[in-house]
Amino acid sequence: MTRPVWIRHASQLATLAGGSLSPVTGEGMNELSIIEDGSVWLENGRIERVGADSELEEVYRDRAGEAEIIDASGRLVTPGLIDPHTHLVHAGTRQNEFNMRLNGATYMEIMNNGGGIHATTAATRNASHEQLFDQSKKRLDLFLLHGVTTVEAKSGYGLTLEDEIKQLEVAKRLDAEHPVDLVSTFMGAHAVPREYKEHPDAFVDLVISEMIPEVARRKLAEFNDVFCERGVFTPEQSRRILEAGALHGLLPKIHADEIEPYEGAELAAAIGAVSADHLLRASDRGIQRMAEAGVIAVLLPGTAFFLMAESANGRKMIDAGVPVAISTDCNPGSSPTVSMPLIMNLGCLKMGMTPAEVLTAATINAAHAIRRAHEIGSIEAGKRADVTIFDVPDFMTLQYRYGVNHVHTVIKNGKVVVAGGALV
């Protein structure tokens, strides 16, 4: 049995309370529900009580001896960060392509010439379960060191039933064996594999008739995602794939309007997707429709940064009433980072978001984007005891002193898993 943990005297305890029922929008994204000189009691893996330190002192004085006490004086305490969009489970790296892009090649040119997603697909197909597990676990350790306690992970580098299942099984094992929780998404429609180059519709049929039913039958994923992009999957193919997934209980997500405007945001709204992700080139009409339909925009400013493209217009989306979440998009081609703190910095610097908005986007709205807001994303009694402590005094300094990992302590399920910036 783990001891209770009592976090005391946080200079700012950003609880993000009050947003669990529906994604936070508009001015609400600036409301962090901060408690100064804040205090949290964690017990049996749950948050038991949250409030001013003087209030918890009254309640827990007699039990102080039982608890592991963490003095958070001068520090910022937030919900454990949540990354709602990653391609965590993959083999190999693509620094050669980075160099090619720096020399003028484009992301899509590289992919159309057999590199890009195809290169990682070949490496992932060739890797054993054990090799994939080891490589992905290293990345997951780094996520934890950067304050992240829950990660969404997509398949999509197998592109055969067997290899997609291999990726999803690695994710399932990581979820079981690693402190970070994983939420799985099936993304068999990440690219048309080379062997189907001349018959893309036959591959779409395979995804629909064989892959989706089997992944759902084995309960290996909760979400279904597709790369809707000119030269990859058309909006019509994407719609078929997402509707087929929904019939099997897989909730739709979509990689939309990343490289070119392609009516992905409009499609997300039309089918009621949980989220539309990327949106660098989303149209004003698409943004409006997403706001009306309540589709969450999962914005990935690291991808725009690394692809040297103009970022999604987070400011415009928030002002239009779209609920915004942010994510690393961790993958070996377009965003090989594991740093949610850096992503929050980029949210401010490249997407016009405020320090408060990026924290909302990386916690409670990220929880909504993976349908976990009833469990995580805020520091409220009854929720899972996932908490991150930063060695900065307030949420503004977290963005101001950019590019640095300020994570000091991470508590996952009520257990201290990072202390003094190192894995315990």
Ligand X SMILES: N=CN[C@@H](CCC(=O)O)C(=O)O
Which residues contact ligand X (rule: CB under 6 A)?
Answer: 87, 116-117, 120, 227, 255, 258, 303, 329, 331-334
Q: Is 190 among the annotated ligand-binding positions?
A: yes
Q: For ligand X, which is the closer residue by CB, 24 or 273?
A: 273
- Tokens found for residue 298: 């999962």
- Tokens found for residue 213: 């039913």
Q: Alpha-carbon dihedral of residues 157, 158, 163, 166, nearest 10 degrees?
A: 10
Q: Is 51 among the annotated ligand-binding positions?
A: no
Q: What are phi and psi of 101, to 5 degrees?
A: -65, -40
Contact call for residues 70 and 8 (beta carbons, < 8 A): yes
Strand partners, 68: 5
Rounded to a whole number, what is the distance in angstroms from the first to the last CA of the chain? Answer: 17
Q: For Zn ion, which is the closer residue by CB, 253 or 372?
A: 253
Question: Tell me, what amino acid is at 381?
Answer: A
Q: Is 334 among the annotated ligand-binding positions?
A: yes
Q: Is 333 among the annotated ligand-binding positions?
A: yes
CB of 97 to ligand X, least distance (A): 8
Burial string for 370-385 (b: 16+ CB within 10 Å, else e) reads bebbebbbbbbeebbb
Q: Is 36 among the annotated ligand-binding positions?
A: no
Q: Is 118 among the annotated ligand-binding positions?
A: no
Using CB under 5 A, count the residues that bind Zn ion: 1
Q: What is the DSSP letter of 412?
A: E
Q: Which does 120 bind (CB under 5 to 8 A by kind): Zn ion, ligand X, none?
A: ligand X
Q: Rounded to an integer, what distance in angstroms lies between the CA atom of residue 45 and that of residue 320?
A: 38
CB of 331 to Zn ion, least distance (A): 6
Q: Give the per-residue contact string, 320-349, with Zn ion (x = CB under 5 A; - = no).
A: ---------x--------------------
Q: Which does 333 bind (CB under 5 to 8 A by kind): Zn ion, ligand X, none?
A: ligand X
Q: Which does 303 bind (CB under 5 to 8 A by kind): ligand X, Zn ion, none?
A: ligand X
Q: For ligand X, which is the closer residue by CB, 41 or 107?
A: 107
Name the residue among 55, 61, 20 with its Cα closest to residue 36.
Answer: 55
For the sheet containing 81-83, what is the strand order?
Answer: 81-83, 148-154, 181-189, 223-228, 251-256, 275-278, 296-299, 324-326
CB of 348 to Zn ion, least distance (A): 21
Please report whether residue 386 would count as binding Zn ion according to CB under 5 A.
no
Please report whether residue 258 would count as binding Zn ion according to CB under 5 A.
no
Write out the binding residues for Fe(3+). 85, 87, 255, 329
Write out the binding residues for N-formimidoyl-L-glutamate. 157, 331, 333
